[in-house]
A = this chain, B = another copy of it.
């Protein structure tokens, strides 16, 4: 049973705080193992990667077979049904159309003092995308990570995907092909992250690593952060649905379950203005749990972390939502746009009852890599911005230096940084006395 809360009850604040602070994930401490793996890859390069792949994935590779060959990819892709291919291509086209609008613009202007200022955006030179193997090997995640990188203009984009016992999901390869991925390595785990960050004889190092992974991958990403850029370390998925009574309880139940089925640690919360509707949704969840393929996972998630909260009005709902700062927020109310204006912290908002969150996972266009665990308070989903960086530009004329240089000199002196001040005053001296 999920928890049922009601804002009119005296113990609500205490119960809500407990819900907010519930620890959903116990990450095993794999830091020592990961440190050893990274050290091994830095020291022995390919040889270490090959040994670790033989050990963990039961797969004997050589430097020549670390990467998929073009023909191999062609052969795997040929296995994909035309319907699956069409669906992937539609998704890719829509994701691309959304992300091209995110490309930030360069700027340059001259200010009243005569200083020319601005900035320029450029893509990272090489990015690596980690794709999990096995059950969590989602072709949609390949699109969501690879397309923003290619839209950003990243010239070299590679993927690492473990293929335990040599098994690969052809849809993953097709998604990589559609997205324009340049290299695909059949390696995984901390050894893949180490190879991407430090490079080996066969795998050139990249500058940025993104993509989800297990505890070993997450720990390895934390460790190489600084040597390369990384995206956020993602936690278990979450959804918050705010719904009034004018909804089909079964639709809302399915939306809640579409997060719960991801992971036993996922969290699905319903906030409603109508207690009876909340009860009806809970019953609909139980009914769907009788037959759902992933009922075991979804059932545990709903039981341990699910919640149904009854509120007095939608203003109260929006305020609670901001305290939750959900990864996914569905607004199934009469005026979803109006309600969305009163919400500040959310990774992605799905407006109205015709927008189930699952649309956003695949074909909506916005990215499905989103901030979890309340981090929407301070961070954003994956975007083109993750694959570009900004260089600021400044050019002074002699007149501009004359106008603002003395203030720089003064501040340098107040900070006891004499050379800073001298680098300005030496030039000002020349300006004031060209013959000197």
Task: List residues of A whose CB falls within 8 A of some B CB.
Answer: 83-84, 86-88, 90-91, 94, 97-98, 101-102, 104, 107, 109, 111, 115-117, 119, 122, 124-125, 135, 138-140, 171, 207-208, 226, 228-229, 233, 248, 250-251, 254-255, 257-258, 260-262, 288, 292-294, 298, 336-337, 340, 343-367, 370-371, 373, 375-381, 383, 385, 389-398, 400-401, 404-408, 410-412, 414-424, 426-427, 430
Interface pair A88/B411, CB less than 8 Å apart: yes
Interface pair A389/B379, CB less than 8 Å apart: yes
Cα–Cα, bound, A199→B64 (Å): 54
Interface pair B354/A367, CB less than 8 Å apart: no
Chain B: minimal CB distance from A306 (Å): 13
A226 / chain B contacts, CB cutoff of 8 Å: 233, 373, 375
A395 / chain B contacts, CB cutoff of 8 Å: 336-337, 350-352, 354-355
A261 / chain B contacts, CB cutoff of 8 Å: 417-420
> Contact partner of A87 among B98, B260, B410, B427, CB < 8 A?
B410
Given contacts A101-B107, A254-B423, A419-B261, contact A364 B394 (CB under 8 A): yes
Interface pair B394/A350, CB less than 8 Å apart: yes
Q: Could you write out 27 A-B pairs with CB less than 8 Å apart?
A: A87-B407, A87-B410, A88-B411, A90-B407, A91-B408, A94-B404, A138-B415, A140-B411, A248-B426, A251-B426, A257-B419, A258-B417, A261-B418, A336-B395, A337-B395, A348-B391, A349-B391, A349-B393, A351-B394, A354-B396, A355-B394, A357-B423, A358-B408, A358-B424, A359-B401, A362-B408, A366-B392
Given contacts A97-B111, A258-B420, A393-B351, contact A415 B140 (CB under 8 A): yes
Interface pair B415/A354, CB less than 8 Å apart: no
What 5 pairs between A and B have smallest CB-CB spacing?
A: A229-B378, A366-B392, A351-B395, A254-B423, A358-B420
Whose C-beta in chain B lies nearest to the C-beta of A383?
B390
A373 / chain B contacts, CB cutoff of 8 Å: 226
Cα–Cα, bound, A119→B383 (Å): 11
Whose C-beta in chain B lies nearest to the C-beta of A122?
B344
A344 / chain B contacts, CB cutoff of 8 Å: 122, 125
Chain B: minimal CB distance from A146 (Å): 15
Cα–Cα, bound, A175→B390 (Å): 26
Interface pair B381/A390, CB less than 8 Å apart: yes
Residue in A367, A370, A378 with the greatest tally of chain B CB atoms within 10 Å: A378
Given contacts A358-B420, A365-B115, contact A394 B349 (CB under 8 A): yes
A104 / chain B contacts, CB cutoff of 8 Å: 104
